[in-house]
Structure 1
Amino acid sequence: MRLTQLSLFNFRNYVRLVLDLPAGVTVLLGDNAQGKTNLLEAVYYLATSRSPHAGTDREVVNWLTPESEPLPFTRLVGKVSRAGGDLTIEITLTQQGEAEGRYRKQIRLNGVPHRAMDLLGHLNVVLFLPEDIALVSGPPSGRRHYLDATLCQIDPGYCRALSRYNQILTQRNALLRDLRERGGEVGQLAFWDEQLVEHGALLVARRRECLGDLDELVREVHAELTDGAERLRLDYLPSLDLENGETVAQAFVAQLRSLRTREIAAGVTLVGPHRDDMAFLIDGVNAGTYASRGQQRTTALALKLAEVALMSRATGERPVLLLDDVLSELDAHRRSFLLRVLDDGPQQSIITTTDLHVLPDAFVERCNVWLVSGGRLSALEG
């Protein structure tokens, strides 16, 4: 799988950009705040219809709109070469009237309109950002989001179940609040319980399977990164008690019943995959609590490289790897291992750096290097 061309119009600090992307490694070189990360964000947005940074679509719009455009308008186009045939992905954002915060998002695959859910899996990407250290040390919500985003790229059924689960959860929570504030027949919860269990059990089962696969892969990568000095293990921490030999569905039903009074008093659903977590254990110790920042950064990088292998195994094609300013934070051994991964055959990678000297000359000679300045790209000469 390869992104062969990227076109941007009014995205972040890019007014207009058409960039042809070769196989192998593309290096984006430039000072901070020039647009390197914005370009990685654009590729991720094309793959998922979401920004890893922005809370709303409005934030990615370049408001320096030409006078010929009556309203702020953003367009991203990506041409993708895949085993199943070439594909053009187009996403447009158009401001709705005078309401500055409201944008209409349109997604087209080969010119045909599609829902955001239909986009996932057509361009698979793995993105590593400096702030991904929070996957190890941050709150559980970030780790749940990571698992969901990974699984949605490789399993459309999971994505549909997740969407439906979240809809049901919203409805059930509204009913719980209504029962708390106004009273009523508690039996009304039975319908939502059944739906919640049906879709939630699927999410838990797939997360367990995914983490089992990731655990196997991340151990190998982490051992390479640390030269065997440490052992990393992933541990799934479901909110459901699954220790009694029950199926996931049976455990879910039983715990919803036992928590009925507490849930009505709280006005929220207290158990289910929306409260799951995962732990990173280095030599049996929780890395989120006790590891150094260097160890946490290595752990997060190992996870993302294992994700590349997971997606390759699941789809038969390597995803596009996006690395934002990761090389400067690595010691010589870890950097050498990462460069070997980037140099490995059919992997397409886009990496950013402020200093080309962190890369060996021989490696740079095999890369496509672009200078990034003020939202403009120019090829590095010589």
Structure 2
Amino acid sequence: MEEKRKRRFIIGGMVIGLVVVGIAVFLYWLFIWQFEEWTDDAYVHGNQVVITPQISGFITSLTVEDTEVVEKDRILVTLDKTDNTLALLRAESELAVAVRDVVGLFQRVGELKAAKEMRKSEMIKAAQDYTHRKNLVKEGAVSKEEFEHSESFLVSAIAGVLFAEHQLRAALAEVENTTVATHPLVEKVKELYRRAWVDLNRCEIRAPVHGMVSRKKAQVGEAAAPSDPLLELIPLDQIWVEANYKEVNLKNVRLGQPAKVTADLWGDSFEYSGKVIGISAATGSVLSLLPPQNATGNWIKIVQRLPVRIALNPEDIEKRPLRLGVSMKVTIDTHDRSGKLLPAPPPAAPLFQTDVYNQQLEGSDAKIEQIIQKNSSFTGK
């Protein structure tokens, strides 16, 4: 009897324990598990900035190696500058010649104005002589031949004034509403000078963003063309996680829901704060090189996965930097299901940008002004 009571006590305890565990599991599911979507099919993604030259040339120097972190605007690769330096010097000479040619046009206008005034003076004198002799010829004080000569001089003087006016108008048409610096002939060569200036600056290939060097292929002495990838920069502050969830687990996932993310790189001891910012428009299989063709007789249904994009807290990334491709574990909290399924149209402002390439033209206008002043200072223009 005592053994039966003991057995019943053990069985009863086990049943009670199982019931308690079952209730605990049910309560945990009721309040926590049903509001969580977990996956370990998740990886870090980010921008990969491929550095390529903008002009052709031979590589003369490299300043970086793989795994180095570089600041924005640092010189990464230098190309041979010989040809571009000569091109800039040639453009400078052409600009100086153009400026002097235009200065000559302005000087010719001044000369033609003086010539016109001289012709007008000659015409006035010829008119006075003609009028004087016209009165005298009636009185017989001067011969008819002398009067006819004065008449010829007047006609010639008038023609001279008309010709001078024509030359002046033609000269003015070449410089009207311009200065030496804004004349079309100078503007044309200024554009060529700017192009040569930019090409010379492009011999120094700079980092457009702050990031880590990866996949360096460039070597000193190699020829580089605009389409050649020299290396890559990976901005470690521009990364996110793509969690590949089964389609059956996305029913309650909405944009803006919080997520807990851990990295295999650092272990479960460090947790990243994340947020759902997007759900892919297509499954991975559809976006593959050879999309599936299911219109066959031996079709077998396979559960598909959709990439969910998770943004990470920048402060967490700064504390524990991640690398592209490392494995992650993601748990999405689906308590709040009021969020949208599709993102709103993005603002017009760019998400990522750089001003490094805009700097290539800096300084060219100051140098152009210096060349113009040097070659036209004596004209006052």
Same fold flag (TM > 0.5): no
Provide TM-score, normalisation by structure 2: 0.19
Instruction: Name the structure, 1 or 2, with higher relative contact order (CA <8 Å, separation 6+).
Output: 2
| Larger Rg computed on CA atoms | 2
Provide TM-score, normalisation by structure 1: 0.19
